[in-house]
Structure formats: C-alpha cells, structure tokens
Structure 1
Amino acid sequence: MPFGTACCAIELMAVLASRYDLARFGAEAIRFSPRQSDLMIVAGRVCIKMMPVLQRIYLQMPEPKWVIAMGACASSGGVFDTYSVIQGIDNFMPVDVYIPGCPPRPEAIIESVLLIQEQIARERQEI
C-alpha cells in the first residue's frame, strides 16, 4: 500500500512501470485498502497532521505487516527540520526497512522489497 507525499512517490511510480516492473518480484497487486495490504511504503515527508491518519491506516492492516520508510524524509524528516514535519516515522510505528536517498533510485526500492521477502522467509523458517 503506497503512501506517497513528495518526490519519492514519483520514483515509486517508476518502479511500478514497465522498465523496472516490480511485479516480477510478486508485488503486482498494489492495494489502496489497508485491510488488503501487508506492506506499507511511506514515501516522502509526513506532517504532524497526517500522522494520525497514517497510524490509523497502519492499525487497519492485518498481521503480519511490514513498513518501508522510503527516502530521507520518511526516515528522518529530510531537509524539513521544522515543527510540522515528523522527524522519522519510526517514532510512531515500527519500520522494517529504510531506503536512503532523496529520492532513492528505483533499484533501491526493488532491493528493499527483496529484503522484506527475505525477512518473511526467515520468519517462516523460525515457526
């Protein structure tokens, strides 16, 4: 489930297009309903007023669920060191993978999805 608010969302769209084709890695079904999603990609800055909405979306996702913080803004606030921008979403919800960059390259986004898949495989082996 994408949650894009800035230039990172443009790179996320590039990953879904034909050149990079994220569907090769099992992510062909992008859902815009939290109840049908197990992965949230937060792309871009998150303002204080948006955080309750983002938390509500996260809580509506079924277990197990994973979160990717995409780009400098979602990970640490980026260049927006101001009172109205959250300085990292990990203060409000658990983050499984951080993607550095402003904006990150599509290859980094694909790598993060592969890391999540590896994490899922490890968790299944432990059970």
Structure 2
Amino acid sequence: MLQIIRERWRQGFRTGKFPKAEPVLPPRFRGLPTFSGDCPPDCGKACETLCPSGACKQVDGRLVLDLGRCLFCADCPACPHGRITFGNDYRLAVRQRQDLLYSGGEYALAQPLEPERLKLFGRSLKLRQVSAGGCNGCEADCNVLGTLVFDLGRFGIQFVASPRHADGILVTGPITENMRSAVLDTYEATPAPKIVIAVGACGINGGPFSGSSEVSPGLDSLLPVNLYIPGCPPHPYTILDGLLRLLGRR
C-alpha cells in the first residue's frame, strides 16, 4: 500500500488543464488548413483530380476544401502548386454541414444548443457511442477521453452502455449497410429530446468509402445531426472542444 501511495505521489496530477489552458500539440499535428496564394490560370482544377477523397474543389478560381470529406493527408496531394498546408488549430467542430466547406478566413465554429436543450444537457450529457463499421481510429480517440489526461466525466459528459440511458448518440464509421438498422434502432431507443453527433470523415460523408453502395453518404442522410466533428480521426481535443461548444462551455 505504501508503494502505491508513493508512486501516486510521484506521478502527480495528470489531468490536463483544458479548457482553461490551450493544449500543446506536436508540430506534426494537422489541424485547420491554410491556403496560400491564388490558383494559377493554367491550373485546370488539378486538385479535383488529385484529391483521394474528393474534398478539394475549385469554384470561380477559389479553392474550397470540404473538411467533412478531407482525410488530412500528411503531404496533401491535392494541390500540385503546394497551396494547401495544415495549421495547428484543433478546433474544427461545426453545427451545420455547409460550414465544413472552407475556403480560408474565419471558420464557423460550433454554436451552443438551443436554450431549451441547454437546460437539459448543459451540465449532464450522456451519450451512446455507435461504431458503424469504423476502422477503430475515431472509436479509440473517443475512448481515450475517459482517461486521466482528458477526464471527460469532469464536464458531466459520459458514454453509457444503453441508448435508453442516453441523451443522444455519437456515431463513428461509414455506416455500412449491415450497421444501418443498428444506428436507426439506437436512435429510436434514445428518449426524446435527443442529439446526434457525427464524428470523423466516415461518419460525416462516408470517408474514403464515399460513393460505395455499401455505405451511407453520411449520417445526416439518415438522421438530423446536431454536431459535426471532422478528422481522420479527429484528435481527442477536437472531439472534446466540439462537445463543450455544443454545451455552451467554450
């Protein structure tokens, strides 16, 4: 017992100070993208062909990146002229799907729930997480929120075992045909009023499997989505920031 106490004392306080203090992320972290310069006249919309996930479009000579589709590739192959780079801003969650269409400048971060729902969920939010055919990347980053570093429970947010005990569902994965009914049944089993959260490129738009007949074109094609958290996978701080913004805590 004394050894346990001594070791606990040696380790000290492990929980991060977020959101009072901004997290320190590694230099290689890929967050909100930045665009440099204008598209050259002879570009020919090469980005639309080169982007593996179809996230990059050129509209009237303006580069538009769909963060709901973007896989945040380390060396972005979309722009052959090197216009796209990724910054260190982890704050990516939004309330509306169209807000993920980013062309630089100000980014429309998620706004809180409506006042009526904030009264219900603002201090206590229980979520049922559904892995709808994911690779376990988004699922792992959701699970890690329960560890000492992030301590999701200190914000009154918890993942629960049954949708009947939940205030909403958090869906990861591309929603395969085999998981479609499971997602819909989980939603129906959750008592109203309820919220729906789409996490990761797969949950938002099918990810690298988009266009396949075996996956959904996105969670919002099946259910009304209240929060979109992009990434492949999104960083735990990105998920946590989105949840806190939804509850008016950021």
User: How would you bin the TM-score normalised by the shorter chain?
Assistant: 0.7 to 0.9
1:18-62 residue CA offsets vs partner (Å, 9 max, x unmatched):
11111121114x211111101211012210121111101101100
What is the CA–CA distance in structure 2 between the aligned matches of 1:33 and 1:96, rounded to whole Å? 20
Of the two structures, which has the highest relative contact order with CA contacts closer than 8 Å and spacing of 6 or more? 1
Aligned equivalent of 1:12: 142
Cα deviation, residue 101, structure 1: 0.4
Aligned equivalent of 2:162: 33
Cα deviation, residue 83, structure 1: 1.2
Contact 1:68 / 1:96 at 8 angstroms: preserved in 2?
A: yes
Aligned equivalent of 1:75: 204
For 2:153, the aligned partner's letter is: A
- Which is further off, 98-107 or 16-25? 16-25
Cα deviation, residue 102, structure 1: 0.3
What is the CA–CA distance in structure 1 between the aligned matches of 2:181 and 2:173, rounded to whole Å? 16
For 1:114, the aligned partner's letter is: L
For 2:130, the aligned partner's letter is: F
- Map 1:106-117 to 2 at 5 A: 106-117=236-247
What is the CA–CA distance in structure 1 between the aligned matches of 2:246 and 2:194, rounded to whole Å? 10
What is the CA–CA distance in structure 2 between the aligned matches of 1:96 and 1:115, rounded to whole Å? 12
Aligned equivalent of 1:123: none
Q: Relative to total residues, which structure has the larger helix share, 1 or 2?
A: 1
Q: Residue 50 of structure 1 aligns to a residue in which SS?
A: helix
What is the CA–CA distance in structure 1 between the aligned matches of 2:218 and 2:189, rounded to whole Å? 21
Give TM-score, length-normalised by structure 2.
0.45
Aligned equivalent of 1:3: 130
Aligned equivalent of 2:180: 51
Extract unaligned runs of 5+ from structure 2: 1-127
User: How high is the sequence identity, in percent, across the aligned residues?
Assistant: 35
Cα deviation, residue 11, structure 1: 0.6
1:81-126 residue CA offsets vs partner (Å, 9 max, x unmatched):
211011101001011000010000111111121123139xxxxxxx
Alignment counterpart, residue 233 of structure 2, candidates 88, 103, 110: 103
For 2:129, the aligned partner's letter is: P
Q: Residue 68 of structure 1 aligns to a residue in which SS?
A: strand
What is the CA–CA distance in structure 2 between the aligned matches of 1:113 and 1:43, rounded to whole Å? 15
Aligned equivalent of 1:86: 216
What is the CA–CA distance in structure 2 between the aligned matches of 1:113 and 1:46, rounded to whole Å? 21
* Bigger Rg over Cα: 2
